């Protein structure tokens, strides 16, 4: 992401609200006066907020400004939490011990902040079973999950079976 800010003679606004790098407010002054002040101090005039009325400009070193902006972007990116959709597949006849193991894995993923899709995989005749019975089978694994969760997507019947998406409660 390139940071684009107008500097010095690229600025077209006739009047600017000017602030120095130390935070001193010079008030609303003309573009020529602001450029002269920046040159006198040995810095650049950088348009910080072009959409304000009048636009806000800062007198500071352009290289330092770019460095600070890149640092802000990097910090913002590091705070973004990536949530992945993990999938666990169970069948109608899956045993209790296997369900416990899968529920343990689901709990682990939920505590890490991921969303989890639990799929009840249906083959052959089991595709035509009563939907209430299939939801009960899905509830068997849901009761074994130890982390508090909320249902992000209600149980849906698809071509491969029944699936539900859950995520950790905030």
Tell me the pLDDT tens digit for each residue of 108-156: 998 888 899 999 998 888 888 888 888 888 888 889 988 888 888 888 8
Find out whether 167 and 110 touch, Cβ atoms under 8 Å: yes
Both structure tokens of 61: 């070193």
More confident residue, 1 or 66: 66
The answer to whether the 8-79 and 85-168 domains have the same CATH topology is: no
**Mean per-residue pLDDT, 80-93:** 83
CA angle at 103 for the pair 97 and 108, rounded to the nearest 5°? 130
Between strands 44-49 and 56-60, the pairing is antiparallel
Indicate the length of the chain as a whole number: 170
CA nearest to 48, candidates 5, 2, 1, 9: 5
**Mean per-residue pLDDT, 60-87:** 85
Predicted model pTM = 0.53
The C-alpha atoms of residue 164 and residue 147 are separated, in whole angstroms, by 16
Kindly indicate the confidence band of residue 2, based on its pLDDT and cuts at 50, 70 and 90. Answer: low
**Among the CATH numbers 3.30.230.10, 3.90.1150.10, 3.30.110.10, 3.30.360.10, which is that of 85-168?**
3.30.110.10
Kindly report the CATH number that applies to the domain delimited by 8-79: 3.10.20.80
Domain extent listing, the chain: 8-79, 85-168
């Amino acid at each position: 992401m390139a940071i684009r800010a107008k500097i010095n003679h690229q600025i077209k606004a006739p009047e600017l609200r000017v602030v120095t790098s130390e935070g001193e407010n010079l008030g609303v002054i003309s573009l020529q006066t602001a450029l002269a002040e920046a040159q006198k101090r040995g810095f650049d005039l950088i348009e910080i907020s072009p959409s304000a009325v009048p636009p806000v400009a800062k007198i500071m070193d352009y290289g330092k400004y770019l460095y600070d902006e890149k640092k802000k972007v990097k910090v913002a990116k590091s705070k973004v939490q990536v949530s992945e959709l993990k999938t666990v597949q169970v069948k109608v006849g899956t045993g209790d011990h296997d369900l416990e193991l899968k529920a343990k894995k689901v709990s682990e993923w939920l505590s890490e902040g991921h969303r989890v899709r639990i799929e009840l995989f249906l083959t052959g005749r089991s595709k035509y079973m009563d939907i209430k019975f299939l939801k009960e089978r899905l509830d068997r694994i849901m009761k074994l999950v130890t982390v508090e969760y909320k249902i992000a997507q209600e149980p849906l019947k698809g071509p491969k079976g029944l699936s539900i998406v859950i995520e950790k409660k905030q």
